[in-house]
Amino acid sequence: MKHAHGLTQKILIAMVLAIILGTCAQWLQGVTPWLDTIINDWLVGGLFLILGKVFVATLKLLVVPLVLVSLVCGAASLGSGKQLGRLGGKTISLYLITTAIAISLAMLMAMLFEPGVGANLTSQSTVNIQQASSFAQVIIDIFPSNPIAAMADGKMLQIIVFALLLGMAINHSGDVGQRIRNQFEDWNVVILNLVTMLMHFAPFGVFALLFTLFARQGLGAIAELSVYFFTVVLVLVMQMLLIYPALLVGLSRLNPVIFMNKMRSTQLFGFSTSSSNATLPVTMRTAEERLGVDNRVASFCLPLGATLNMDGTAIMQGVATVFIAQAYGIDLSAMDFLTVIATATLASIGTAGVPGVGLVMLSMVLTQVGLPVEGIALIIGVDRLLDMMRTSVNVTGDTTVACIVAKSEKQLDETVFNDPDAGLVGDDMDSGLIGKK
């Protein structure tokens, strides 16, 4: 056994410490002016602000190069357009199914626990929700007119389309294509190693992000919205511990305990950054190096999943819709339920996995079923905390689908999947690096 789960353990310790110390810092606000200066100006607005921002930036800086290089490699080694079509068909169907399950479960539980009955409508704060784009625009926006602009703006679906086309052309270019492909493959190894190197900074980054959040926000908001909050948490836990394991066993005969153990650090990254996009480099590394998903599947499924598949977000939307309907005393018909399921499933297509985007999607859903969008103000107080948890579920859902698709395409190395030490990032800077001679 290598010097083992070093990094995951350190991140976990950093997270717990940050939550405890951050909450204490919130309680200490206003005790004495000098303590306020230390907490607010030096720590929350100084040191930890810098550390947290730098941490998220270092993750984000990897996303575009990694998706481009990795997907070009994947597409260049896919045999035919037919294979890509099959991969795409399976991936997108599974994403839609898992999201539909998530939101149905969420609405069912919300009907059971009735979080919105008797909610205090007067405690609204004003809310300014960005408008979601129309469905036609969403489809048009998938196709880039300028790949460099798409990369500069981090438009994931456009980058995916460009990388797929480039990869396919490389595949059809004989010797010339082979030379370019070798270059991309070398770049892929280098960038994955950069992910591994930067992951060592994670415990500090996670501490800084969570301390800042808890020192600013505290846990007070949960008390007022406890039934809503815990209904969402319960369904998130059910999705994570019942639905995904059932799919892994039922569709692929894969051991869910091994899967969940290996997913822990990725989930922690999702939790602390609240962004499936920023977590993507770690998700891709985990899928390929720790779980044995071939690059051809991982490079396609996971960037797509970070944008298309947000099961945790769908859960929040399901519970929130029922909550808002109950709070305003509006009855939802069976047709409304189906509309919510369809809209929430499709709404995620045009929205990237970044912090807080779930609320934009929720405004789309509420409009579809004629509920007041201002209702979002009722739940916004606990949304930041729920965002962290649902992002962990989102990245787990993406990786579950990647493993199932890989297994069905015979692109899953089960020796790697079952090896507890495969691709571990330990304490030693070199461990987990690939391609070294």
Q: Is residue 309 at the binding interface for ligand ASP, with CB under 6 A as the rule?
A: no
| Residue 310 engages ligand ASP in binding (rule: CB under 6 A) | yes
DSSP state of 412: B
- Which single residue brings its beta carbon nearest to ligand ASP? 358
Rounded to an integer, what distance in angstroms lies between the CA atom of residue 273 and that of residue 261? 20
**Mapped to the 3 state alphabet, what secondary structure does 86-139 carry?**
HHHHHHHHHHHHHHHHHHHHHHHHHHHHCCCCCCCHHHCCCCCCCCCCCHHHHH
The structure tokens 């047709």 sit at 335
Interface with ligand ASP, residue 358, by CB under 6 A: yes
165 vs 160: CA distance, rounded Å: 9
Residue with tokens 């990094």: 7
Looking at residues 255 to 274 of the shown chain, list those that interact with ligand ASP (rule: CB under 6 A): 274
Least distance to ligand ASP, CB of residue 360, Å = 8
Asked if 356 is part of the footprint of ligand ASP (rule: CB under 6 A), the reply reads yes
Q: Which is nearer to ligand ASP, 78 or 314 (CB)?
A: 314
**CA angle in degrees (0–180, nearest 5) for 408-410-414:** 100
Kindly indicate which of the ranges 18-26, 102-110, 338-346, 389-397 contains the residues binding ligand ASP, using the contact rule CB under 6 A.
389-397
User: How many residues line the site for ligand ASP (CB under 6 A)?
Assistant: 15
Is residue 357 a contact point for ligand ASP (CB under 6 A)? Answer: yes
Q: Which is nearer to ligand ASP, 84 or 310 (CB)?
A: 310
Question: Does residue number 353 form part of the binding site for ligand ASP (CB under 6 A)?
Answer: yes
Applying CB under 6 A, among 390, 401, 402, 423 the residue interacting with ligand ASP is: 390
CA distances from 421 to 8, 389, 416, 418, 426 (A): 13, 26, 9, 9, 10
Tokens for 130, please give them: 């960005």
Contact yes or no for 102/239 (Cβ under 8 A): yes
Decide if residue 275 touches ligand ASP (CB under 6 A).
yes
Q: Does 313 bind ligand ASP (CB under 6 A)?
A: yes
Give the residue, chosen from 158, 171, 212, 276, that forms a contact with ligand ASP under the rule CB under 6 A. Answer: 276
Handedness of CA 262, 411, 281, 305 (dihedral sign): negative
Neighbours of 86 (CB within 10 A): 15
Q: Considering only CA atoms, which of 81, 55, 15 is closest in space to residue 267?
A: 15
- For the chain, what is the radius of gyration of the CA atoms? 22
> 3-class SS at 298?
helix
- Segment lying near ligand ASP (by CB under 6 A), choices 193-201, 235-243, 254-262, 347-355: 347-355
What's the closest the beta carbon of residue 350 comes to ligand ASP, in angstroms? 13
Of 22 and 312, CB closest to ligand ASP: 312
Site string for ligand ASP, 74-113 (x = CB under 6 A): ----------------------------------------
Q: What is the SS3 assignment for 293?
A: strand
- 60 interacts with ligand ASP by CB under 6 A: no
Cα 18 from Cα 11, distance rounded (Å):
10
Question: CB-wise, 39 or 105, nearer to ligand ASP?
Answer: 105
* Min CB(398)–ligand ASP separation in Å: 9
Minimum distance from residue 135 beta carbon to ligand ASP (Å): 19
Q: Hey, what are 191's tokens?
A: 């960038």
The contact set with ligand ASP (CB under 6 A) reads 274-276, 310, 313, 353-358, 387, 390-391, 394
